[in-house]
Amino acid sequence: MTMPTISDKSTQRPFIISRVLGAARERVWKAWTEQERLMQWFGPKGSKMPVAKMNFRQGGVCHFCLRSPDGHELWGKWDIREIVVPERFVFIHSFSDPAGGVTRHPMSPTWPLEMLSTVTFAERDGGTLLTVQWSPLNPTAEEGRTFDSSHESMKQGWSGTFVQLADYLAKV
């Protein structure tokens, strides 16, 4: 058995992205925590959420499908761990299959199986400072390296998601 070298270890920097939205915290909270609202905006820019089932409570699950503009479907699952209304909620995020089972990322087999996700909502100048933080949960060294090297692409994906959320909030 060989001992891991320092290069085998991931720094596992958390991924953190924030955006100030021009809507009251209560409205932004509802956009994230009510199934009907979440389905209208969540996902990278251009994607849709045609299917979702949400039981928003500690111990509850949100299981959903995201469809890209080209028709490709990705399933996801949130296992909700903590809710502090209207300040934050914490969940374990994973890719899923249509039946709700946990699966590997369909395009990255070395992506962490589970992510610890924290979404916070803070009042800021009449709007809301929304912050999303992701950290791999119990990753292998390879999964940690994949996560660490993916921050820029996560930033792009989440930036598009925030655009969709801002557009949704401007309409309701």
For the chain, the structural domain boundaries read 13-171
Which pLDDT tens digits describe the chain residue by residue (172 residues)? 433 333 334 457 899 999 999 999 999 999 999 999 999 999 988 999 999 999 999 999 999 999 999 999 999 999 999 999 999 999 999 999 999 999 999 999 999 999 999 999 999 999 999 999 999 999 999 999 999 999 999 999 999 999 999 999 999 9
User: Is beta strand 73-84 parallel, antiparallel or unpaired with respect to 61-67?
Assistant: antiparallel
Please say whether the beta carbons of 35 and 53 come within 8 A.
yes
Q: What is the CA radius of gyration of the chain?
A: 16
**Nearest-angstrom CA–CA distance, 4 and 41:** 43
Helix (H, G, I), strand (E, B) or coil at 69: coil
User: Is beta strand 127-136 parallel, antiparallel or unpaired with respect to 15-21?
Assistant: antiparallel
**Nearest-angstrom CA–CA distance, 23 and 125:** 10
Q: pLDDT at position 8, please?
A: 38
Token digits of residue 49: 């959420």
**To the nearest 5 percent, what fractions of the chain are helix, strand and coil?**
25, 35, 35
CATH of 13-171, one of 3.30.530.20, 3.40.50.720, 3.40.710.10, 3.40.50.1000: 3.30.530.20
Query: What is the pTM (predicted TM-score) of this model?
Result: 0.91
Reported as a single tens digit per residue, the pLDDT across 67-112 is: 999 999 999 999 999 999 999 999 999 999 999 999 999 999 999 9
For residue 67, the 8-state DSSP code is E
Q: pLDDT at position 88, please?
A: 98
